[in-house]
Amino acid sequence: MKLWGGRFTKEEDTLMKVFNSSLEEDLALVEEDLDGSIAHAEMLVHCHIISQEEGEKIVQGLHKIKQDIATGNLVVEGDHEDIHSFVEATLTEMIGEAGKKLHTSRSRNDQVATDLKLYTKKRAKETINKLQLLIHSLEKTAVANQHVIMPGYTHLQRAQVVTFGYHLRAYIEMFRRDTKRLEQTVANLNESPLGSGALAGTTHDIDREITAEKLGFSKPTANFMDGVSDRDFIIELLSDLSIIMMHVSRLSEELILWSSQEFSFIKIDDAYATGSSIMPQKKNPDAAELIRGKTGKVYGALVSVLTTMKGLPLAYNKDMQEVKSPMFQAVDEALLSIKMMDKMVATVQVNGEQMKQAIKAGFLNATEVADYLVQKGVPFRDAHGVVGAIVLYGEKVGKSIEQLTLEELQQFSDSIEQDIFAYVDYTNLLKRGNKKEMLD
């Protein structure tokens, strides 16, 4: 059953049918399409456009279709152009002529826009929920390791002492920002395009406020043409997901580095690693590596949709059908990656002793020696030069700063006294100034 064709004199080419069909990818929208159709039918009854009896038949039939699909008694398949054609054909076969009245006062253009907004809102909220679980796991692991000291890095060079818990909390802040972006995306898209028709509304006296309220939108869209052609909300979601994937990819990279034998800061649980088919000693951090790889696919989806939309005149164009598949794939990949990261973070084993050894080999209290000299009245720029010379000397003799004797240190500045050793102790230095925040 086609929803068009009255003005055509020739059958659609077989290849064109395949080329034009979106039924397979529309499976993701079946629930949204049925919900939108139920709200539309109830509005048609309220506005006396179809009879109460017809409306009840339609709504009951749509509920039956939803139930049958959920239980597996009905499979979405067949020679249908899209999910909208499938639903209407199945409904008409089920309840008869009343099914043909469902499409009164709407177009597939406003219908698919509504479906996509409902889908985007649902998956954005699902992503928020998964991020909250990841944040909880990060916080739990951070608390368990809030006093485990480790090197903090810049340029991938050991820089200053931090705690493992504080390092993880940096990612908590990233994911909190991600959550806010998703919430803003939901707020931006929360207007119903249903009732916009193909692009210019309908001559039927419908009530768009009713369908907007029934579907959980805050209000109807203000402009029909924008309502059917807007896909900004998809681009916003994909932008949000791309930033999220960038964040989980950064964390993945650190887990990969930290779990290597060169670092040995952590162990990734065996459940989220794999082995080698030829090297029996290998334990590969494949879950983290796959997250890094999937990040590119999500970025690709964003670029794909932006490219599809960039040259389209108002209002609806068939090109827009091509934005669905990359979005569906990106959402699935992002959610899977967030869930996988949650599991890895919750089960990671921390090697605090190895982290401490890395600190001692890296002159990570050099900045604090400069701070010490400043407190003794030495200008910071001069203190910086003094400490640089101390580090060079330490490298030459194979000693860390705290291993040097007072006499050795005083070669570089008369301002250095015995209290330097307590000042640059790695545990003590985290208790001073705003560094105390790292231990909270």
Domains observed in the chain: 14-101 (1.10.275.10), 108-203+223-353 (1.20.200.10), 363-438 (1.10.40.30)
Report which DSSP code applies to 274. Answer: B
Angle 363-369-372 from CA coordinates, rounded to 5°: 165
pLDDT of residue 79: 85
pLDDT of residue 58: 98
Catalytic residues: 155, 276
Helix %, strand %, coil % for the chain, to 5?
65, 5, 30
pLDDT of residue 4: 46
Is residue 127 within 8 A of residue 101, CB to CB? The reply is no
Asked whether the bond before 346 is cis by omega within 30 degrees of 0, the reply is no
C-beta neighbour count of 21 within 10 angstroms: 16
Is residue 334 within 8 A of residue 389, CB to CB? The reply is no
pTM of the complete model: 0.92
Please report how the helices 324-347 and 232-259 are oriented relative to each other, as an axis angle in degrees rounded to 10: 30
pLDDT of residue 412: 97
Residue bearing tokens 């389209």: 312
pLDDT of residue 277: 83
Partner residues linked to 162 by β-bridges: 150
pLDDT in tens, the chain (440 residues): 566 456 666 777 777 776 767 778 889 999 999 999 999 999 999 999 999 999 999 999 999 999 999 999 999 998 888 999 999 999 999 999 999 999 999 999 999 999 999 999 999 999 999 999 999 999 999 999 999 999 999 999 999 999 999 999 999 999 999 999 999 999 999 999 999 999 999 999 999 999 999 999 999 999 999 999 999 999 999 999 999 999 999 999 999 999 999 999 999 999 999 988 898 888 999 999 999 999 999 999 999 999 999 999 999 999 999 999 999 999 999 999 999 999 999 999 999 999 999 998 778 999 999 999 999 999 999 999 999 999 999 999 999 999 999 999 999 999 999 999 999 999 898 998 898 888 88
Angle 6-9-11 from CA coordinates, rounded to 5°: 95
Report which DSSP code applies to 284. Answer: B
pLDDT of residue 9: 66
